Structure 1
Amino acid sequence: MSRRLVLITGASAGIGLAFARVYASHGWDVVVTGRRADRLEKLVEEIKLRFGVEAFAVPCDLSDPATPEKLMAAITALGRQVDGLVNNAGYSVPEGFVGNVWDSHRNFLQVLLHAPTELAHRVLPGMIERKFGRIINVASLAAYLPGSPGDTLYGPVKSYLLKFSQGLHLETRDHGVHVSALCPGWTYSEFHDVNGTRSKLSQSFPEWVWMGADEVAREGYLAAEANRAACVPGAPNKVVSAALKVLPDDWTLEFASNRLRKINR
Protein backbone atom coordinates (compact mmCIF):
# COMPACT_ATOMS: atom_id res chain seq x y z
CA MET A 1 0.00 0.00 0.00
CA SER A 2 1.60 3.26 -1.14
CA ARG A 3 -0.69 5.73 0.62
CA ARG A 4 0.17 7.16 4.02
CA LEU A 5 -2.02 6.32 7.02
CA VAL A 6 -3.13 8.80 9.68
CA LEU A 7 -4.65 7.91 13.06
CA ILE A 8 -7.12 10.46 14.41
CA THR A 9 -8.52 10.23 17.93
CA GLY A 10 -11.85 11.74 18.93
CA ALA A 11 -12.99 11.62 15.31
CA SER A 12 -16.73 11.09 15.77
CA ALA A 13 -17.47 14.85 15.76
CA GLY A 14 -16.00 18.34 15.67
CA ILE A 15 -12.35 19.00 14.90
CA GLY A 16 -11.45 15.31 14.81
CA LEU A 17 -14.08 14.56 12.19
CA ALA A 18 -12.93 17.58 10.20
CA PHE A 19 -9.32 16.36 10.34
CA ALA A 20 -10.40 12.98 8.92
CA ARG A 21 -11.92 14.72 5.91
CA VAL A 22 -8.94 17.03 5.44
CA TYR A 23 -6.40 14.21 5.47
CA ALA A 24 -8.53 12.04 3.19
CA SER A 25 -8.85 14.95 0.75
CA HIS A 26 -5.05 15.01 0.53
CA GLY A 27 -4.86 11.31 -0.30
CA TRP A 28 -4.20 9.83 3.11
CA ASP A 29 -5.80 6.63 4.34
CA VAL A 30 -7.50 7.19 7.67
CA VAL A 31 -8.03 5.33 10.95
CA VAL A 32 -10.64 7.03 13.10
CA THR A 33 -11.25 6.23 16.73
CA GLY A 34 -13.66 7.32 19.43
CA ARG A 35 -16.38 5.92 21.63
CA ARG A 36 -19.36 6.29 19.27
CA ALA A 37 -19.01 3.37 16.88
CA ASP A 38 -22.07 4.26 14.79
CA ARG A 39 -20.70 7.71 13.98
CA LEU A 40 -17.28 6.34 13.15
CA GLU A 41 -18.73 3.78 10.74
CA LYS A 42 -20.77 6.48 9.03
CA LEU A 43 -17.67 8.65 8.66
CA VAL A 44 -15.66 5.74 7.25
CA GLU A 45 -18.26 5.09 4.56
CA GLU A 46 -18.37 8.79 3.68
CA ILE A 47 -14.58 9.00 3.36
CA LYS A 48 -14.36 5.91 1.15
CA LEU A 49 -17.07 7.11 -1.22
CA ARG A 50 -16.11 10.77 -1.28
CA PHE A 51 -12.31 10.60 -1.43
CA GLY A 52 -11.51 7.13 -2.77
CA VAL A 53 -9.09 6.23 0.03
CA GLU A 54 -9.11 3.49 2.64
CA ALA A 55 -10.71 4.24 5.98
CA PHE A 56 -11.03 2.16 9.14
CA ALA A 57 -13.04 2.62 12.33
CA VAL A 58 -11.54 1.37 15.59
CA PRO A 59 -13.94 2.27 18.42
CA CYS A 60 -12.26 2.57 21.80
CA ASP A 61 -12.25 4.44 25.09
CA LEU A 62 -9.03 6.32 25.76
CA SER A 63 -9.87 6.66 29.46
CA ASP A 64 -8.76 3.00 29.72
CA PRO A 65 -4.97 3.00 30.21
CA ALA A 66 -4.71 -0.18 28.10
CA THR A 67 -6.28 1.45 25.04
CA PRO A 68 -3.19 2.98 23.34
CA GLU A 69 -1.47 -0.41 23.18
CA LYS A 70 -4.64 -2.11 21.93
CA LEU A 71 -5.19 0.62 19.36
CA MET A 72 -1.71 0.19 17.91
CA ALA A 73 -2.17 -3.59 17.86
CA ALA A 74 -5.40 -3.18 15.89
CA ILE A 75 -3.61 -1.07 13.29
CA THR A 76 -0.78 -3.60 13.05
CA ALA A 77 -3.40 -6.31 12.50
CA LEU A 78 -4.60 -4.34 9.47
CA GLY A 79 -1.11 -4.70 8.06
CA ARG A 80 -0.51 -0.97 8.30
CA GLN A 81 1.81 1.50 10.01
CA VAL A 82 1.05 4.95 11.38
CA ASP A 83 2.54 7.77 9.32
CA GLY A 84 0.46 10.51 10.89
CA LEU A 85 -1.11 10.98 14.32
CA VAL A 86 -3.70 13.57 15.32
CA ASN A 87 -4.20 13.57 19.09
CA ASN A 88 -7.56 15.29 19.16
CA ALA A 89 -9.71 13.44 21.70
CA GLY A 90 -10.76 15.70 24.53
CA TYR A 91 -13.49 17.17 26.67
CA SER A 92 -13.81 19.34 29.76
CA VAL A 93 -14.82 18.74 33.38
CA PRO A 94 -16.66 21.85 34.62
CA GLU A 95 -17.98 22.43 38.16
CA GLY A 96 -14.54 22.81 39.74
CA PHE A 97 -11.74 20.62 41.03
CA VAL A 98 -13.33 19.71 44.36
CA GLY A 99 -16.78 19.61 42.78
CA ASN A 100 -15.95 16.43 40.87
CA VAL A 101 -14.99 12.99 42.14
CA TRP A 102 -11.40 11.94 41.57
CA ASP A 103 -12.38 9.31 38.99
CA SER A 104 -13.59 12.11 36.70
CA HIS A 105 -10.25 13.90 36.92
CA ARG A 106 -8.27 10.68 36.53
CA ASN A 107 -10.17 9.78 33.35
CA PHE A 108 -9.71 13.33 32.06
CA LEU A 109 -5.95 13.18 32.58
CA GLN A 110 -5.78 9.75 30.95
CA VAL A 111 -7.60 10.92 27.82
CA LEU A 112 -6.02 14.35 27.37
CA LEU A 113 -2.52 13.87 28.79
CA HIS A 114 -1.41 10.26 29.17
CA ALA A 115 -2.98 8.79 26.01
CA PRO A 116 -1.62 11.36 23.53
CA THR A 117 1.82 11.15 25.12
CA GLU A 118 1.86 7.35 24.94
CA LEU A 119 0.53 7.25 21.38
CA ALA A 120 3.26 9.66 20.28
CA HIS A 121 5.88 7.51 22.00
CA ARG A 122 4.56 4.38 20.28
CA VAL A 123 4.52 5.81 16.74
CA LEU A 124 7.64 7.98 16.78
CA PRO A 125 10.34 5.26 16.50
CA GLY A 126 8.84 4.01 13.23
CA MET A 127 8.44 7.54 11.89
CA ILE A 128 12.07 8.36 12.67
CA GLU A 129 13.26 5.10 11.10
CA ARG A 130 11.26 5.81 7.92
CA LYS A 131 12.30 9.50 7.88
CA PHE A 132 8.68 10.60 7.65
CA GLY A 133 5.97 11.42 10.12
CA ARG A 134 3.34 13.93 11.14
CA ILE A 135 2.05 14.50 14.69
CA ILE A 136 -0.56 17.10 15.58
CA ASN A 137 -1.49 17.57 19.22
CA VAL A 138 -4.73 19.52 19.50
CA ALA A 139 -4.12 21.91 22.38
CA SER A 140 -6.10 25.13 22.79
CA LEU A 141 -5.82 28.88 23.06
CA ALA A 142 -6.25 28.05 26.75
CA ALA A 143 -2.61 26.89 26.65
CA TYR A 144 -1.64 30.57 26.60
CA LEU A 145 -4.24 31.73 29.10
CA PRO A 146 -3.75 31.91 32.87
CA GLY A 147 -5.36 29.33 35.09
CA SER A 148 -9.04 29.79 35.80
CA PRO A 149 -11.44 28.28 38.34
CA GLY A 150 -14.11 25.85 37.25
CA ASP A 151 -12.57 23.70 34.54
CA THR A 152 -9.39 23.68 36.60
CA LEU A 153 -7.31 21.03 34.81
CA TYR A 154 -8.13 22.00 31.23
CA GLY A 155 -5.70 24.91 30.83
CA PRO A 156 -2.75 23.14 32.49
CA VAL A 157 -3.19 20.05 30.30
CA LYS A 158 -3.39 22.15 27.15
CA SER A 159 -0.26 24.04 28.23
CA TYR A 160 1.45 20.67 28.61
CA LEU A 161 0.42 19.62 25.10
CA LEU A 162 1.84 22.86 23.70
CA LYS A 163 5.19 22.49 25.46
CA PHE A 164 5.31 18.76 24.73
CA SER A 165 4.76 19.45 21.03
CA GLN A 166 7.45 22.13 20.96
CA GLY A 167 9.94 19.76 22.58
CA LEU A 168 9.15 16.94 20.15
CA HIS A 169 9.31 19.40 17.26
CA LEU A 170 12.91 20.25 18.16
CA GLU A 171 13.80 16.61 18.83
CA THR A 172 12.48 15.24 15.53
CA ARG A 173 12.78 18.03 12.97
CA ASP A 174 16.04 16.64 11.54
CA HIS A 175 14.45 13.21 11.04
CA GLY A 176 11.68 14.08 8.58
CA VAL A 177 9.06 14.15 11.36
CA HIS A 178 6.86 17.22 11.76
CA VAL A 179 5.30 17.86 15.18
CA SER A 180 2.86 20.71 15.73
CA ALA A 181 0.50 21.91 18.44
CA LEU A 182 -2.83 23.24 17.20
CA CYS A 183 -4.25 25.87 19.56
CA PRO A 184 -7.78 26.82 18.45
CA GLY A 185 -9.97 29.29 20.27
CA TRP A 186 -13.78 29.21 20.29
CA THR A 187 -14.83 26.58 17.75
CA TYR A 188 -18.26 25.49 16.59
CA SER A 189 -18.44 21.83 17.62
CA GLU A 190 -20.16 19.56 20.15
CA PHE A 191 -17.56 20.41 22.80
CA HIS A 192 -19.59 23.15 24.51
CA ASP A 193 -22.86 21.25 24.08
CA VAL A 194 -21.46 18.26 25.95
CA ASN A 195 -20.21 20.31 28.92
CA GLY A 196 -23.37 22.43 29.02
CA THR A 197 -21.74 25.82 28.36
CA ARG A 198 -23.04 26.51 24.85
CA SER A 199 -25.75 29.05 25.71
CA LYS A 200 -23.58 30.99 28.18
CA LEU A 201 -20.63 31.22 25.80
CA SER A 202 -22.78 32.18 22.82
CA GLN A 203 -24.11 35.11 24.81
CA SER A 204 -20.71 36.11 26.20
CA PHE A 205 -18.57 36.08 23.03
CA PRO A 206 -19.37 37.75 19.68
CA GLU A 207 -19.87 35.64 16.57
CA TRP A 208 -16.69 36.91 14.91
CA VAL A 209 -14.43 35.16 17.45
CA TRP A 210 -15.85 31.73 16.59
CA MET A 211 -14.39 29.45 13.90
CA GLY A 212 -15.72 26.39 12.14
CA ALA A 213 -14.14 23.01 12.84
CA ASP A 214 -13.34 22.55 9.13
CA GLU A 215 -11.36 25.80 9.03
CA VAL A 216 -9.47 24.90 12.20
CA ALA A 217 -8.53 21.46 10.84
CA ARG A 218 -7.35 22.90 7.52
CA GLU A 219 -5.07 25.36 9.27
CA GLY A 220 -3.76 22.60 11.53
CA TYR A 221 -2.97 20.39 8.55
CA LEU A 222 -1.11 23.16 6.74
CA ALA A 223 0.86 24.04 9.87
CA ALA A 224 2.00 20.44 10.27
CA GLU A 225 3.02 20.23 6.62
CA ALA A 226 5.01 23.44 7.03
CA ASN A 227 6.57 21.99 10.21
CA ARG A 228 5.44 24.82 12.44
CA ALA A 229 5.84 24.00 16.13
CA ALA A 230 2.55 25.70 17.03
CA CYS A 231 -0.46 27.03 15.16
CA VAL A 232 -3.04 29.47 16.51
CA PRO A 233 -5.80 29.61 13.87
CA GLY A 234 -7.78 32.79 13.27
CA ALA A 235 -6.67 36.43 13.46
CA PRO A 236 -8.45 37.24 16.77
CA ASN A 237 -6.85 34.23 18.45
CA LYS A 238 -3.41 35.20 17.14
CA VAL A 239 -3.82 38.66 18.68
CA VAL A 240 -4.89 37.17 22.02
CA SER A 241 -2.03 34.67 22.15
CA ALA A 242 0.52 37.36 21.26
CA ALA A 243 -0.80 39.70 23.94
CA LEU A 244 -0.74 36.98 26.59
CA LYS A 245 2.96 36.43 25.99
CA VAL A 246 3.82 39.96 27.11
CA LEU A 247 1.15 40.91 29.67
CA PRO A 248 1.96 40.38 33.37
CA ASP A 249 0.41 37.30 34.96
CA ASP A 250 -1.55 39.29 37.55
CA TRP A 251 -3.27 41.24 34.76
CA THR A 252 -4.25 38.13 32.83
CA LEU A 253 -5.42 36.36 35.98
CA GLU A 254 -7.71 39.26 36.82
CA PHE A 255 -9.00 39.34 33.23
CA ALA A 256 -9.79 35.61 33.38
CA SER A 257 -11.56 36.05 36.70
CA ASN A 258 -13.70 38.94 35.41
CA ARG A 259 -14.58 37.06 32.21
CA LEU A 260 -15.64 33.98 34.20
CA ARG A 261 -17.89 36.07 36.43
CA LYS A 262 -19.61 37.57 33.37
CA ILE A 263 -20.14 34.14 31.83
CA ASN A 264 -21.64 32.76 35.04
CA ARG A 265 -24.13 35.59 35.54
Structure 2
Amino acid sequence: MTQARPLSLITGASAGIGAAFAHALATRGHDLVLTARRTDRLDALAQELSHQHGIHATAITCDLADPDGAEQLCATLAARGLHVDWLINNAGYGVPGRFDQNDWQVHADFLRVLVTAPTELAWRLIGGMRERRYGRIVNVASLAGHVPGTAGHTLYAASKAYMIKFSQSLALENQHLGVHACALCPGFTRSEFHDVTGTRPLVSKMPDFMWQDASAVVQEGIEAVERGDAVHVTGRFNRAVKGLFKLMPDRLALKVSAKQSKRYRAHE
Protein backbone atom coordinates (compact mmCIF):
# COMPACT_ATOMS: atom_id res chain seq x y z
CA MET A 1 0.00 0.00 0.00
CA THR A 2 1.68 3.19 -1.20
CA GLN A 3 0.39 6.55 -0.02
CA ALA A 4 -0.43 8.85 -2.91
CA ARG A 5 -3.58 10.33 -1.36
CA PRO A 6 -4.51 11.69 2.07
CA LEU A 7 -4.87 8.86 4.57
CA SER A 8 -7.65 8.81 7.15
CA LEU A 9 -7.62 6.54 10.18
CA ILE A 10 -11.13 5.93 11.51
CA THR A 11 -11.77 4.07 14.76
CA GLY A 12 -15.10 2.40 15.35
CA ALA A 13 -15.56 2.34 11.60
CA SER A 14 -17.81 -0.69 11.27
CA ALA A 15 -21.13 1.13 11.76
CA GLY A 16 -22.87 4.40 12.55
CA ILE A 17 -20.90 7.65 12.52
CA GLY A 18 -17.63 5.81 11.88
CA ALA A 19 -18.95 4.15 8.73
CA ALA A 20 -20.45 7.46 7.61
CA PHE A 21 -17.03 9.11 7.99
CA ALA A 22 -15.53 6.32 5.89
CA HIS A 23 -18.03 6.91 3.08
CA ALA A 24 -17.61 10.70 3.20
CA LEU A 25 -13.81 10.69 3.20
CA ALA A 26 -13.63 8.03 0.49
CA THR A 27 -15.82 10.31 -1.62
CA ARG A 28 -13.23 13.06 -1.06
CA GLY A 29 -10.51 10.76 -2.42
CA HIS A 30 -8.91 9.67 0.86
CA ASP A 31 -7.27 6.33 1.38
CA LEU A 32 -8.62 4.75 4.54
CA VAL A 33 -7.54 2.62 7.47
CA LEU A 34 -10.66 1.30 9.16
CA THR A 35 -10.47 -0.14 12.66
CA ALA A 36 -13.00 -1.79 14.96
CA ARG A 37 -13.52 -5.14 16.66
CA ARG A 38 -15.83 -6.62 14.00
CA THR A 39 -13.59 -7.97 11.26
CA ASP A 40 -16.34 -9.12 8.90
CA ARG A 41 -17.99 -5.71 8.75
CA LEU A 42 -14.68 -3.91 8.36
CA ASP A 43 -13.56 -6.11 5.49
CA ALA A 44 -16.88 -5.70 3.68
CA LEU A 45 -16.82 -1.91 4.08
CA ALA A 46 -13.19 -1.66 2.96
CA GLN A 47 -13.92 -3.69 -0.18
CA GLU A 48 -17.05 -1.68 -0.95
CA LEU A 49 -15.33 1.72 -0.64
CA SER A 50 -12.23 0.65 -2.56
CA HIS A 51 -14.42 -0.56 -5.44
CA GLN A 52 -16.76 2.44 -5.47
CA HIS A 53 -14.24 5.24 -5.17
CA GLY A 54 -10.97 3.89 -6.56
CA ILE A 55 -9.17 4.44 -3.27
CA HIS A 56 -7.30 1.99 -1.05
CA ALA A 57 -9.20 1.05 2.08
CA THR A 58 -7.75 -1.46 4.47
CA ALA A 59 -9.26 -3.00 7.59
CA ILE A 60 -7.27 -3.59 10.76
CA THR A 61 -9.06 -5.32 13.60
CA CYS A 62 -8.23 -3.55 16.83
CA ASP A 63 -9.65 -3.62 20.34
CA LEU A 64 -8.89 -0.27 21.92
CA ALA A 65 -9.86 -1.62 25.33
CA ASP A 66 -6.55 -3.48 25.18
CA PRO A 67 -3.95 -1.30 26.95
CA ASP A 68 -1.54 -1.93 24.05
CA GLY A 69 -4.16 -1.49 21.32
CA ALA A 70 -3.35 2.07 20.25
CA GLU A 71 0.40 1.47 20.28
CA GLN A 72 0.09 -1.71 18.24
CA LEU A 73 -2.17 0.00 15.72
CA CYS A 74 0.32 2.82 15.20
CA ALA A 75 3.18 0.32 14.95
CA THR A 76 1.31 -1.51 12.19
CA LEU A 77 0.87 1.73 10.26
CA ALA A 78 4.54 2.63 10.68
CA ALA A 79 5.62 -0.82 9.50
CA ARG A 80 3.62 -0.26 6.32
CA GLY A 81 5.20 3.16 5.79
CA LEU A 82 1.91 5.00 6.26
CA HIS A 83 1.37 8.40 7.80
CA VAL A 84 -2.04 9.53 8.99
CA ASP A 85 -3.36 12.86 7.74
CA TRP A 86 -6.86 12.62 9.27
CA LEU A 87 -7.53 10.91 12.60
CA ILE A 88 -11.19 10.24 13.37
CA ASN A 89 -11.46 9.19 17.01
CA ASN A 90 -14.95 7.74 16.85
CA ALA A 91 -14.90 4.42 18.70
CA GLY A 92 -17.28 4.42 21.63
CA TYR A 93 -20.31 2.99 23.35
CA GLY A 94 -22.38 3.45 26.48
CA VAL A 95 -22.50 1.48 29.72
CA PRO A 96 -26.11 1.51 30.94
CA GLY A 97 -27.09 1.26 34.55
CA ARG A 98 -26.04 2.73 37.87
CA PHE A 99 -22.29 3.22 38.42
CA ASP A 100 -21.90 0.65 41.22
CA GLN A 101 -23.93 -2.01 39.39
CA ASN A 102 -21.14 -2.71 36.89
CA ASP A 103 -17.82 -4.40 37.59
CA TRP A 104 -14.78 -2.14 37.64
CA GLN A 105 -13.33 -3.91 34.59
CA VAL A 106 -16.37 -2.74 32.59
CA HIS A 107 -15.63 0.86 33.55
CA ALA A 108 -11.88 0.45 33.00
CA ASP A 109 -12.46 -0.84 29.45
CA PHE A 110 -14.87 2.01 28.77
CA LEU A 111 -12.35 4.63 29.89
CA ARG A 112 -9.63 3.09 27.73
CA VAL A 113 -11.82 3.15 24.63
CA LEU A 114 -13.39 6.59 25.09
CA VAL A 115 -10.63 8.52 26.86
CA THR A 116 -7.21 6.87 26.97
CA ALA A 117 -7.05 5.37 23.45
CA PRO A 118 -8.15 8.48 21.52
CA THR A 119 -5.77 10.59 23.59
CA GLU A 120 -2.91 8.18 22.92
CA LEU A 121 -3.65 7.97 19.20
CA ALA A 122 -3.57 11.76 18.95
CA TRP A 123 -0.28 11.85 20.88
CA ARG A 124 1.31 9.20 18.67
CA LEU A 125 0.18 10.72 15.37
CA ILE A 126 0.22 14.48 15.88
CA GLY A 127 4.00 14.76 15.72
CA GLY A 128 4.00 13.64 12.10
CA MET A 129 1.16 16.02 11.31
CA ARG A 130 3.13 18.91 12.80
CA GLU A 131 6.23 17.98 10.81
CA ARG A 132 4.23 17.86 7.57
CA ARG A 133 2.32 21.00 8.62
CA TYR A 134 -0.99 19.41 7.83
CA GLY A 135 -3.40 17.29 9.82
CA ARG A 136 -6.99 16.93 10.95
CA ILE A 137 -8.15 15.34 14.21
CA VAL A 138 -11.87 14.86 14.82
CA ASN A 139 -12.74 13.67 18.30
CA VAL A 140 -16.33 12.47 18.28
CA ALA A 141 -17.73 13.84 21.52
CA SER A 142 -21.40 14.53 22.25
CA LEU A 143 -23.95 17.14 23.22
CA ALA A 144 -23.88 15.22 26.52
CA GLY A 145 -20.49 16.81 27.21
CA HIS A 146 -22.09 20.27 27.28
CA VAL A 147 -25.01 19.59 29.62
CA PRO A 148 -25.20 18.36 33.23
CA GLY A 149 -24.51 14.72 33.93
CA THR A 150 -27.40 12.35 34.40
CA ALA A 151 -28.21 9.22 36.37
CA GLY A 152 -27.22 6.13 34.41
CA HIS A 153 -24.45 5.85 31.79
CA THR A 154 -22.44 7.50 34.54
CA LEU A 155 -19.12 7.92 32.72
CA TYR A 156 -20.47 8.82 29.29
CA ALA A 157 -21.00 12.58 29.66
CA ALA A 158 -17.80 12.86 31.68
CA SER A 159 -15.76 11.21 28.94
CA LYS A 160 -17.28 13.48 26.29
CA ALA A 161 -16.64 16.61 28.36
CA TYR A 162 -13.00 15.54 28.56
CA MET A 163 -12.80 15.14 24.77
CA ILE A 164 -14.21 18.65 24.30
CA LYS A 165 -11.60 20.30 26.53
CA PHE A 166 -8.83 18.11 25.10
CA SER A 167 -9.78 19.13 21.56
CA GLN A 168 -9.78 22.81 22.44
CA SER A 169 -6.25 22.59 23.83
CA LEU A 170 -5.02 20.55 20.85
CA ALA A 171 -6.49 23.13 18.49
CA LEU A 172 -4.78 26.03 20.24
CA GLU A 173 -1.42 24.27 20.36
CA ASN A 174 -1.33 23.21 16.72
CA GLN A 175 -3.46 25.47 14.53
CA HIS A 176 -0.48 27.66 13.58
CA LEU A 177 1.10 24.58 11.97
CA GLY A 178 -1.91 23.68 9.84
CA VAL A 179 -3.11 20.96 12.22
CA HIS A 180 -6.77 21.33 13.17
CA ALA A 181 -8.48 19.52 16.05
CA CYS A 182 -12.24 19.53 16.54
CA ALA A 183 -14.62 18.00 19.07
CA LEU A 184 -17.68 16.95 17.10
CA CYS A 185 -20.75 17.00 19.36
CA PRO A 186 -23.86 15.33 17.94
CA GLY A 187 -27.06 14.73 19.82
CA PHE A 188 -29.39 11.83 19.05
CA THR A 189 -28.04 10.13 15.92
CA ARG A 190 -29.60 7.26 14.00
CA SER A 191 -27.18 4.39 14.56
CA GLU A 192 -26.77 1.14 16.51
CA PHE A 193 -25.68 2.97 19.67
CA HIS A 194 -29.01 2.70 21.46
CA ASP A 195 -29.49 -0.92 20.43
CA VAL A 196 -26.17 -1.83 22.05
CA THR A 197 -27.00 0.01 25.27
CA GLY A 198 -30.50 -1.46 25.41
CA THR A 199 -32.20 1.94 25.41
CA ARG A 200 -33.89 1.64 22.02
CA PRO A 201 -37.40 1.28 23.55
CA LEU A 202 -36.86 4.54 25.46
CA VAL A 203 -35.34 6.65 22.70
CA SER A 204 -37.78 5.44 20.05
CA LYS A 205 -40.34 7.64 21.77
CA MET A 206 -38.28 10.79 21.12
CA PRO A 207 -39.73 13.09 18.43
CA ASP A 208 -38.19 12.97 14.97
CA PHE A 209 -36.92 16.58 15.04
CA MET A 210 -34.45 15.62 17.78
CA TRP A 211 -32.65 13.11 15.53
CA GLN A 212 -30.00 13.43 12.82
CA ASP A 213 -28.71 10.92 10.32
CA ALA A 214 -25.07 9.91 10.72
CA SER A 215 -24.23 11.28 7.27
CA ALA A 216 -25.49 14.74 8.24
CA VAL A 217 -23.43 14.67 11.44
CA VAL A 218 -20.32 13.70 9.50
CA GLN A 219 -20.79 16.40 6.87
CA GLU A 220 -20.98 19.05 9.57
CA GLY A 221 -17.93 17.57 11.25
CA ILE A 222 -15.79 17.66 8.13
CA GLU A 223 -16.76 21.24 7.39
CA ALA A 224 -16.10 22.28 11.00
CA VAL A 225 -12.61 20.78 11.25
CA GLU A 226 -11.67 22.23 7.87
CA ARG A 227 -12.75 25.68 9.11
CA GLY A 228 -10.61 25.25 12.18
CA ASP A 229 -13.48 25.09 14.68
CA ALA A 230 -12.28 23.57 17.95
CA VAL A 231 -15.81 22.50 18.94
CA HIS A 232 -18.89 21.94 16.82
CA VAL A 233 -22.36 20.97 18.01
CA THR A 234 -24.37 19.50 15.14
CA GLY A 235 -27.92 20.48 14.25
CA ARG A 236 -29.93 23.56 15.17
CA PHE A 237 -31.91 21.76 17.86
CA ASN A 238 -28.76 20.57 19.63
CA ARG A 239 -27.17 24.01 19.47
CA ALA A 240 -30.34 25.46 20.98
CA VAL A 241 -30.21 22.92 23.81
CA LYS A 242 -26.58 23.76 24.51
CA GLY A 243 -27.35 27.48 24.55
CA LEU A 244 -30.35 27.04 26.83
CA PHE A 245 -28.44 25.03 29.42
CA LYS A 246 -25.61 27.54 29.32
CA LEU A 247 -28.02 30.29 30.37
CA MET A 248 -29.56 28.33 33.26
CA PRO A 249 -28.27 28.49 36.83
CA ASP A 250 -26.44 25.27 37.64
CA ARG A 251 -29.03 24.02 40.13
CA LEU A 252 -31.90 24.50 37.68
CA ALA A 253 -29.93 22.95 34.81
CA LEU A 254 -29.24 19.86 36.90
CA LYS A 255 -32.92 19.48 37.81
CA VAL A 256 -34.02 19.83 34.19
CA SER A 257 -31.38 17.38 33.03
CA ALA A 258 -32.38 14.85 35.70
CA LYS A 259 -36.02 15.02 34.67
CA GLN A 260 -35.42 14.79 30.93
CA SER A 261 -32.82 12.02 31.16
CA LYS A 262 -35.46 9.54 32.26
CA ARG A 263 -36.64 9.63 28.65
CA TYR A 264 -33.40 8.16 27.29
CA ARG A 265 -31.13 6.90 30.11
CA ALA A 266 -31.34 3.48 31.78
CA HIS A 267 -30.07 3.85 35.33
CA GLU A 268 -31.57 1.03 37.39
State the TM bucket, normalised to the shorter chain: over 0.9
- Residue 157 of structure 2 aligns with an amino acid whose one-letter code is G
**Percent of aligned positions with the same letter in both sequences?**
49
Alignment TM-score, normalising by the size of structure 2: 0.96
**Residue deviations 1:214-252 (CA, integer Å, cap 9, x gap):** 111111111111111111111100111112222111111
SS state of the match for residue 4, structure 2? coil
Aligned position for 1:38:
40
Matches within 5 A, 1:205-224: 205-224=206-225
Q: In the alignment, which of 57, 60, 69 is matched to residue 58 of structure 1? A: 60
Aligned position for 1:25:
27
Q: Which runs of 5+ in 2 are unaligned?
A: none
Matched, 1:236 2:267: no
Q: Following the alignment from structure 2 to structure 1, what is the Cα–Cα distance between the partners of residues 265 and 49?
A: 40
Q: Following the alignment from structure 2 to structure 1, what is the Cα–Cα distance between the partners of residues 53 and 34?
A: 15
SS state of the match for residue 49, structure 1? helix
SS state of the match for residue 101, structure 2? coil
**Number of residues of Structure 1 aligned to a counterpart in Structure 2:** 264
- Residue 244 of structure 1 aligns with an amino acid whose one-letter code is F
- Work out whether residues 88 and 138 of structure 2, in 8 Å CA contact, stay in contact via their aligned partners in 1: yes
Q: Following the alignment from structure 1 to structure 2, what is the Cα–Cα distance between the partners of residues 111 and 4?
A: 25
**1:38–1:29 CA distance, 2 compared to 1 (3 A):** same
**CA-atom RMSD, angstroms?**
1.2
Q: CA deviation at 1:262?
A: 4.6
- Residue 124 of structure 2 aligns with an amino acid whose one-letter code is R
Q: Following the alignment from structure 1 to structure 2, what is the Cα–Cα distance between the partners of residues 2 and 221?
A: 21
Matches within 5 A, 1:32-181: 32-181=34-183
Between stretches 120-129 and 251-260, larger displacement belongs to 251-260
Matches within 5 A, 1:245-256: 245-256=246-257
Runs of 4+ aligned residues of structure 1 deviating over 3 Å after TM superposition are 261-265
Q: Following the alignment from structure 1 to structure 2, what is the Cα–Cα distance between the partners of residues 185 and 217?
A: 12
**1:262–1:120 CA distance, 2 compared to 1 (3 A):** closer
Q: Following the alignment from structure 2 to structure 1, what is the Cα–Cα distance between the partners of residues 147 and 65?
A: 26
**1:20–1:99 CA distance, 2 compared to 1 (3 A):** same
Aligned position for 2:262:
261
Alignment TM-score, normalising by the size of structure 1: 0.97
Q: Following the alignment from structure 2 to structure 1, what is the Cα–Cα distance between the partners of residues 247 and 167?
A: 21
SS state of the match for residue 82, structure 1? coil
